[in-house]
Amino acid sequence: MPSLSSCRKPLSLPAG
């Protein structure tokens, strides 16, 4: 999973 996707759509992490 690309870190960019994680930053754009944080599923596990809270939207901060």
Instruction: From first to last of the 16 residues of the chain, give the pLDDT tens digit.
Output: 556 555 566 566 665 5
The C-alpha atoms of residue 13 and residue 10 are separated, in whole angstroms, by 5
Tell me the pTM: 0.05
The C-alpha atoms of residue 11 and residue 16 are separated, in whole angstroms, by 12
- pLDDT of the residue at 4: 59
Question: How far from chain centre, in Å, is Cα 11?
Answer: 6
